[in-house]
Amino acid sequence: MSLLQNQYASEVIFVDVVDSITEHLTDKLTQNFPRHQYNWQVRCDDINNLAVPADDSQLFIIAGVGPDQTIDFINSLCASAKHTPIDLLTCSVSGNYAVRKALIHQGYKLNSEQLIFDNNRFYEAIYVSKSGDKTLQDVGSEMWQWDDPVHRDYFRRVVAHYEKKAKGDPAKFKPIVERYNTVPDTIEQPD
C-alpha cells in the first residue's frame, strides 16, 4: 500500500490465492485508495497463472510465503517473462539461503538487501534485477551490520538452524554451515 500512497508505481497489482485475503484487501484499498485517484487491481489467482506483460519496468514483490513457494514463484515468473526484464523483491518467511540460490541460478544480481526485524521475526528483504552490477551472495553481504546485536543474533540463529539440520543430513547442510561461517571473515566488523 505504501507503493500506492507514495506513488512509486503507475499501477500496483496485488495477487493472492486466498479469497478471504483478496476480499479484505479490496475493501481496504477501496476505502483508503479510491480508484479515481489510484491505479490498482486485486486478483485472486495463483501467481503461476499470471502472464507477465512485456513492459520495460516491472517490480514483483514476493512476500509472506515460505522458501519453496517463493522459489516456485521466482521460477514461474522467469519462465513467463524470459525476454522481459523484471526486478524482484523477495521477503520469504524463512529459507533465504535456498531463495538466494534460486535467484543466483536465474541470473539475478543484487540491487540491495536488508535485514528486517519486525513483530519478533526476522526477514531478509532481497531486491534484485538482472541488470544489477553487484554479485548476489548466497549467505548475504550488504545486509549484515555487525555492530547491531539484532544482526548478530539473527546470524547465530541461522547458523544454529543449519547446524541442527546438518546432523540429520550432513551432505546437504554441512556445506551451507561452512558458507555461513565464512561471512564474518568477509565482512568488516566493528572493533
Residues 100 and 164 in one domain: no
The per-residue pLDDT for 190 is: 47
- Indicate which CATH number applies to the domain containing 126: 3.40.50.150
Model pTM score:
0.85
Q: Are residues 68 and 79 in the same domain?
A: yes
Other beta carbons within 10 Å of 133: 8
- Over residues 5-16, the pLDDT tens digits come to 888 888 888 888
Q: Is residue 68 located within the same domain as residue 139?
A: yes
Q: What is the pLDDT of residues 60-109, one digit of tens each?
A: 889 888 999 999 999 988 888 887 888 999 998 888 999 999 999 999 99
Mean pLDDT of 120-149: 92
Would 51 be classed as within a structural domain? no
Q: What is the per-residue pLDDT for 48?
A: 76
Domain assignment present for 50: no
Q: Are residues 68 and 124 in the same domain?
A: yes
Sequence-separated contacts (24+) of 174-177 with Cβ below 8 Å: 176/97
Q: What is the pLDDT of residue 188?
A: 53
Q: What is the mean pLDDT of residues 17-41?
A: 92
Question: Rounded mean pLDDT of the chain?
Answer: 89
Question: What are the Cα distances from residue 162, in Å, to 77, 82, 95, 142, 166?
Answer: 28, 33, 10, 21, 6
pLDDT over 50 (residue 152): yes
* CA dist., res. 57 & res. 86, Å (int): 7
Q: How many domains does the chain have?
A: 3
In a domain, 108, yes or no: yes
Q: Are residues 68 and 131 in the same domain?
A: yes
| pLDDT at residue 184 is higher than 80 | no
Domain membership flag for residue 8: yes
Whether 111 maps to a domain, the answer reads yes
- For residues 70 and 134, membership in a common domain is answered with yes
Asked whether 117 and 128 are in contact (CB, 8 A), the reply is: no
The whole-angstrom distance between residue 174's C-alpha and the CA centroid of its chain comes to 24
Asked if 148 and 131 sit in the same domain, the reply is no
| Claim to verify: residue 66 and residue 123 sit in the same structural domain | yes
Quick check: helix, strand or coil at residue 51? Answer: coil
Residue 191 pLDDT > 50? no
**Helix, strand or coil for residue 123?**
strand
Q: Note whether 66 and 131 are same-domain residues.
A: yes
With 70 as the cut, is the pLDDT of residue 185 above it?
Answer: no
Q: In the structure grid, which three cell numbers stand for residue 163, read together? A: 547446524
Among the listed residues 26, 28, 91, 43, the one whose alpha carbon sits nearest the alpha carbon of residue 64: 91
**Residue 111 sits in the same domain as residue 173:** no
Single residue among 105, 128, 143 that ends a domain in this structure: 143
Residue ranges making up the domain that contains 6 = 1-45
What is the Cα–Cα distance from 124 to 39, expressed in whole angstroms?
28
What pLDDT shows up at residue 27?
95
Asked if 126 and 184 sit in the same domain, the reply is no
Based on the fold, state whether residues 15 and 91 are members of the same structural domain. Answer: no
Residue 158 lies in a domain: yes
Task: Give me the mean pLDDT over the 114-130 stretch.
Answer: 91
